[in-house]
Amino acid sequence: MDVLLTGSAGFIGSHIAEALIAAGHRVRGLDLRPDGLHPRPGAPAGSGDVRDAAAVARRLEGVDAVCHQAAKVGLGVDISDLPDYASVNVHGTAVLLAEMARAGVGALVLASSMVVYGEGAYACRAHGPVRPAPRPQEALRAGRFEPDCPQCGSPLAPGIVAEDAMPDPRNVYADTKLAQEHLAASWARATGGCVAALRYHNVYGPRMPRDTPYAGVAAIFRSRLMNGEAPLVFEDGAQRRDFVHVRDVARANVLALEQVAVSPQQRQGLRAYNIASGQPRTIGEVAGALATAFGGPDPQVTGEYRLGDVRHIVARPDRARSELGFSASVPFTDGMAEFASATVIDQ
C-alpha cells in the first residue's frame, strides 16, 4: 500500500513511518522539517506544508491511503496561540481533505486526541452519570481539585470514557482536534470515504521533544531530572491519565490503515477509537517512575494548577481491540525506564 504520512518527521509520525515500512508499505512523507527530529536512514522525505494545496496534491499522486499526523500540539501558552492552532490543525486538515477528494483517495487515518472528551466520565451517588462543568479557579486555588456534581455539589466518582461519550473540549487545542474530526466526517459523507479517528491518550517514548511549551508532562519531568531537579507535580498528583507508548501508537496506526484501505466503500464514515493502554496511572506515579529510573530526586507535589487542565481522563480501549486488533504491549515500568534513558531531542 502507498501511504501519504503527514507530520512524518515528528515524534509520533517518525515512529509510524518506521512501523509502516516494517509492515511492507511504501511511505511518502509531508512535513515542514524533512529531516525531522531524529534523522534516520530510509526515513520518508517530503518537505511541505499541509496548508499548501499544490504541495499536498503532488504528494497524493498514486496514494492509496493517508495517515494525517501533522498538527500543532499541546495545551498552548495563552489565547494568542489560537490563530496558529486554527491555521495548522483546522485549515491544514481542510486543505488535505479537499485534495484527497480531488485525487480520489478514500481512506484516512486521523490523529485525534482524548482531549475532545474534556473531563472524563463521572457519576454522582444521587444523580447518576453527570458531566461536570470546568473546575472554577477559586476551587483550584483552595486545593479542591476533584470536580463536583453540577446538581448537588457532592463529590463525583470518576469512571471510564468510551468513544460514544459526548465531546466537551476545554481548550483551544481540543477545539481544533474536534474540528478535525467534524471536517473528516463531512468529507467521508460527501465522498463515500472512510476515516479511523484515533483518539490518542498520553503518548510517551523515544524522540519525544523536551523543553517546549507543548511538551507532554513526562517530557517535562524527564527534563528536570536530567538537570538534577525534582519533578514538579501539579495539583495533588492524583490526576489519572492513560499513558501509552509511542510504538504501540504507531502499531495502532498501521492496523487502522490496513482496515480503512480495504474496501473503504463498505466502511463509509468516521469511526473513533481510543488508543490507550487500558491501565490508568496518576501523574504522581509517572513522576515517581521516572525519578526511580534516574535515581532521584523524588518528585515534589506543588499544588499548582493550570486552567483548562482536566482532572481525570481514563479510556475504555475495547473498540480498538475488537475492531482493529490493537492492544497496547509495552508495560508502563519498562516504557518509562526506556524513556528515561532515551536520547533527548531538542525542538
Give pLDDT, residue 307: 84
Does residue 36 carry a pLDDT above 60?
no
Distance CA 294, CA 222 (A): 9
- Residue 194's pLDDT is 96
Nearest-angstrom CA–CA distance, 2 and 306: 42
Cα–Cα nearest to 72, from 116, 107, 32, 120 = 32
pLDDT for 291 equals 96
Contact status, residue 217 vs residue 256, Cβ threshold 8 Å: no
pLDDT on residue 37: 43
- Pairing label, strands 157-158, 122-124: antiparallel
Q: Flag the least confident range among 54-58, 142-146, 211-215, 260-264.
A: 211-215
Looking at the chain, how many residues does it have? 347
Which pLDDT score is estimated for 75?
A: 65
Contact 29, 56 (CB under 8 A): no
pLDDT of 190 over the 50 cut: yes
Strands, DSSP E only, in the chain? 2-6, 26-30, 65-68, 107-113, 122-124, 128-130, 157-158, 194-200, 202-204, 209-210, 232-233, 240-241, 243-245, 269-275, 281-282, 300-301, 345-346
Check whether 260 has a pLDDT greater than 70. Answer: yes
Q: Higher model confidence: residue 282 or residue 35?
A: 282
Helix axes 172-191, 92-103, angle to 10 degrees: 10
121 band by pLDDT with thresholds 50, 70 and 90: very high
* Under 8 Å between Cβ of 201 and 280: no
342 pLDDT higher than 90 = no
Average pLDDT on 46-66 reads: 95
Contacts of 307 (CB under 8 A, 6+ apart): 137, 140
CA pair distance 270, 267, nearest whole angstrom:
8
Residues sharing a CB contact under 8 Å with residue 140, sequence separation 6 or more, in sequence order: 235, 305, 307
Looking at every residue in the chain, the average pLDDT score rounds to: 91
| Segment 94-116 mean pLDDT | 97
